[in-house]
Amino acid sequence: MPDFDFAQPTSLNEALELFAADGEVRALVGGTDIVDQLKTGRRNADMVVDLKRIPELQRLEIEADGLHIGAARSLTDIAEFPVVLSDYKGLADSSVLVGSWQIQNRAGIGGNVCNAAPSGDTIPALLSHETSAIVASSSGRREIALSDFFAGPGQTVLQKDEILVELVLPPIPDDSASSYLRFIPRNEMDIAVVGAGSFLHLGSDGAVQKARIALASVAPTPVRARAAEGVLEGNVLSDELIETAAVAAVEAATPISDVRGSAEYRRELVKVLTRRTLGISRDRIVG
């Protein structure tokens, strides 16, 4: 591995000062992406800043405005958190799909988000829950809708001096549920050929009050399938409506052909996985 300096701040202010310095400063939480990227030269660093010991970045709690998850909190902790298991099931689904158990024990959710892989498994689940990213720099804080957070493969809108502090998932209403699933040709330990997450909220008349669908590995960034959401909202949920939405979801996909699958295959997978995630979310509401 190339040489770099290392710091382990215990407060956010201390960390923000480090990120305000010149040179390439890289955040490390679990290290499961960045250490490999440093070893192979896919990213470089003059300084690596371990953010795990900043209490604010380890938050995992429910507040009036929703679920707060610190950027350094491990995927294992998130997947085992009771409120995630009951109310944010799509996030629980996706957290146990990232790498292996060893990876989930170390990897922080902020790392999965900021690594900004088009295939990042937690991202569609977070997008379907309309997650906000709370970002800080030495000059202040800002809130960014996660749907505006990604700029391209491996790229986010974070400025050089900014840190992702936490993610906030709004409270969920009754009669709502989420799910995430992906297709890989193996059982475990692979990168999504396509991933699809959904959130559904049904009214008492059976009509869809809100639908959110997000896709992985079909565009330069994870994307919302807004046309499919529009197909669902205001209409009574049925198998036929889900099928129509699944077809509409393909409009959001601009996939490439690569070793994991052709563009045509991925478009077909978008249809199949959107249908399935909507079915799972519906079943979870009905119970």
Partner 1 sequence: MKHISITVNGDQHELLVEANWTLLETLRDHLRLTGTKEGCSNGNCGACTVMVNGRTANSCLVLAAEMDGNEITTIEGIASQGKLNPVQEAFIKDGALQCGFCTPGFIISATALLQRNPDPSEEEIRTRLAGNLCRCTGYDKIVMAVEDAAAMLRT
Q: Which stretches of the chain bind partner 1, using CB under 8 A? A: 1-6, 8, 28, 30-32, 35-36, 38-40, 48, 50, 52, 76, 99-103, 105-106, 187-189
Q: Which of 246, 251, 252, 216 is nearest to 232 (CA)?
A: 246
Q: Which two tokens stand for residue 206?
A: 């059976």
Closest CB 276 distance from partner 1, rounded Å: 20
Please state the closest distance from residue 181 (CB atom) to partner 1, in A.
Answer: 15
Q: Name the minimum Å distance from CB 257 to partner 1.
A: 24
Which candidate, 86, 28, 83, 17, places its Cα nearest to that of 57?
Answer: 28
Q: Which is nearer to partner 1, 35 or 256 (CB)?
A: 35
Q: Which is nearer to partner 1, 105 or 176 (CB)?
A: 105
Of 4 and 265, nearer to partner 1 (C-beta) is 4
Helix (H, G, I), strand (E, B) or coil at 154: coil
Tell me whether residue 104 or residue 132 sits nearer to partner 1 (CB atom): 104
Q: Are 92 and 85 in contact (CB under 8 A)?
A: yes
Side chain identity at residue 237, one-letter code: L
- What is the 3-state composition of the chain as percent helix, strand, coil, each rounded to the nearest 5? 35, 30, 35
Q: How far is the CB of 274 from partner 1 (least distance, A)?
A: 25
User: How many residues in the chain?
Assistant: 287
**Least distance to partner 1 from the beta carbon of 31, Å?**
5
CA distances from 237 to 108, 241, 245, 277 (A): 36, 6, 10, 14
The residue (of 52 and 266) whose beta carbon lies closer to partner 1 is 52
